[in-house]
Amino acid sequence: MDRRRHARTDKTTLIEGLWRNLALERIVNFAHSTGITIDQLIIHQLIIDAQSGDVARAEEAALVKVSPEDAKSPRDVLKKTLSVRSVLSTSSSIAERMEALREADLSTLKLGQIGRGSFGTVFEIPGTEWCLKKTLTSPDRLWEEFHTGLIMREKVNGTASNAIFKSEQLQEALMPRVPRYLWSQGMGDAQSAERWFKENGRKFPAENEGQKPGPIICLERIMPIPKLIRDNLIKLYFKPENQEEALADKANKSCLCQPYLGSRSSEIAPDKREKELQTLQNFPLYLDQLEDLEMEPLTIAQDMAMRS
């Protein structure tokens, strides 16, 4: 069966997605022209969320929900839910975050660390669709990511969206999502990073040099994997003796899956593989796992190609 039938309707995806594209572009254009603080970004996000409430409710009504109740094992649950075409409703958790943000005191709002990569640390701006990535070691690599992200945003969110409006055939397509890159600070200018952190640094966690000034970029956050999927990833792949601790670990709420189409899990060095299976942050799914879970590696490759 074609999994596209288990996704949102094309009409809903395009109308809601393109409308929100335009709304988020207003934030992007404002930030590019004037610069923006964390507090200003939160205020703009609240305005957009209030305006898009009716659209979000319409989208929720049009979703074809995935029902994993008849699944017999973690693998079966993941086959039904961890798909590039399936949709799980996360509206309740999003609504809770939005409500918490409305009631928050911006003067005491704290950012949370949600990821740590090879050259940067990622912090969420609670209740919004935005996050911050900071590096203390590799400003050139961070700048390359930012510059490439701007190009991809224009290609997919700009050029591709315009093509959809003009072509009846393309309106049958489900477009991949490309995170927006909003602004950068401190690239080649240490003093600008110092000034920015003097105003905003108190919002970062003190641990792991979170408040230490450094080059930083703001980008649209990739939302974490829903709890149902997180729990079953742990049950399927983690060692039995590690599962209880992993299920209770709050850090695993910031779960993102990274597909690796050019490698199989059996090819990974045992010590590296054991380390990978201790956290859901940047959790790798290799080609053999994608095939086992029927996640359509070819479709993933096609979506990735659209972004290049």
Domain, as residue range, for 89: 3-223
Query: What are 89's two structure tokens?
Result: 């409703």
Do 55 and 201 belong to one domain?
yes
**Strand-pair category, 257-260 with 283-286:** parallel
Do 230 and 193 belong to one domain?
no
- Domain limit, last residue, from 203, 223, 243: 223
Helix axes 74-81, 227-237, angle to 10 degrees: 140
Task: Count Cα atoms within 13 angstroms, Cβ side, for 154.
Answer: 6
Do 122 and 239 belong to one domain?
no
- Domain limit, last residue, from 163, 195, 223: 223
**Strand-pair category, 283-286 with 130-134:** unpaired
This prediction has a pTM of 0.67
Residue 303 to residue 308: CA distance in whole angstroms: 9
Q: What is the dihedral of CA 119, 202, 112, 142, to 10 degrees?
A: -20
Do 203 and 61 belong to one domain?
yes
- Cβ-count burial 198-231 (b if 16+ within 10 Å, e if not): eebeebbeeeeebeebbbbbbbbbeebbbebbbb
Do 103 and 128 belong to one domain?
yes
Do 237 and 100 belong to one domain?
no
pLDDT digits (tens), the chain, 308 positions: 343 333 333 334 444 555 555 556 666 665 655 556 666 666 666 655 555 544 444 333 333 344 556 667 999 989 888 876 655 555 545 555 656 666 666 677 788 888 877 788 999 888 777 899 999 888 899 999 999 988 887 777 666 666 666 666 555 555 666 788 888 888 878 888 899 899 889 999 988 888 999 999 999 888 778 888 999 999 999 999 999 999 999 889 888 888 999 999 999 999 999 999 999 988 999 999 999 999 888 888 877 766 55
Do 12 and 68 belong to one domain?
yes
Nearby residues of 3 by Cβ (< 8 Å), 6 or more positions away: 83, 84, 85, 86, 296
Do 122 and 110 belong to one domain?
yes
Do 169 and 237 belong to one domain?
no
Do 98 and 231 belong to one domain?
no
Rg of the chain on CA atoms, in Å: 20
Query: Domain tally for the chain?
Result: 2
Do 207 and 304 belong to one domain?
no
Q: Are 170 and 198 in contact (CB under 8 A)?
A: no
- Domain limit, last residue, from 198, 223, 248: 223
Residue 241 to residue 183: CA distance in whole angstroms: 43
Q: What is the pLDDT of residues 236-279, one digit of tens each?
A: 999 999 999 999 998 898 888 889 999 999 999 999 999 999 99
Do 238 and 207 belong to one domain?
no
